[in-house]
Amino acid sequence: MGTSWSESQRAFTDATHWFVHTSARVGARWDRPGLGEWDVRSLVGHTSRALLTLEMYLARPAQTAMLRSAADYFRAASALATGPEVAARGRDAGIALGVDPQSSLAAIAARVVPLIQAKDGTELLTTLAGGMRLQDYLPTRTFELTVHTADLARALGFPLDLPGTAAAEALRIVSELAIREGHAGAFLLAATGRTGLPAGFTVL
């Protein structure tokens, strides 16, 4: 069962605040390994795109909704967002944060959170994978913020103190993807301590 629009707004807001707060604690460690080939700056830059794409896509209204859920979006986007260009966009986004990344992130959040709070969720926008309603696309941004802030926290040795609202939204999407991809049994057994998951397992 999906969440209400107000619940999705709250989850997104909480995920954004956690991301900004965690990034503010990086200190001088921007060159430290972040995730895969990304350093911390690139990881933070990539994560900031979860906010920036909302601004960009809302400025490009769609005529129809081709994708009707977060799971639909991730399945469609997975075929498009592969290859070295993804890593390059993360590095470019990190560089774009400038000499004061913390202030840049705070300014982005100060624009985007009120923008989303002012919407009713029915707005049609154009994503890289096709037209969607904001109420269906926003959970994908909460997911990206939550997962990558967890990556950042792990890279920096911080506790994984995910906001409950954002965690619930992300886990709902993971569950739906696991069911769609036929991994529900393996996922459920692993989550309840019966078995482990194979190396490289993902629902994305």
* CB-count burial class (<10 Å; 0-12, 13-18, 19+) for 43: buried
Domains of the chain (ranges plus CATH)? Answer: 5-163 (1.20.120.450)
Q: Pick out the chain residues at pLDDT < 50.
A: 1
Residue 2 has a pLDDT of 61
Residue 199 has a pLDDT of 83
Residue 77 has a pLDDT of 85
Q: Which amino acid is at 23?
A: S
Residue 122 has a pLDDT of 97
Cα(145)–Cα(14) distance, rounded to whole angstroms? 10
The model's pLDDT over 38-82, given as tens digits with 9 standing for 90+, comes to 999 999 999 999 999 999 999 999 999 999 999 999 988 887 766
Burial of 97-133, coded b for 16+ CB within 10 Å and e otherwise, reads beeebeebbeebbeebbeebeebebebbbbbebbbbb
Beta-strand ranges (E) seen in the chain are 33-35, 38-39, 124-127, 130-133
Tell me the two tokens of residue 48: 């900031």
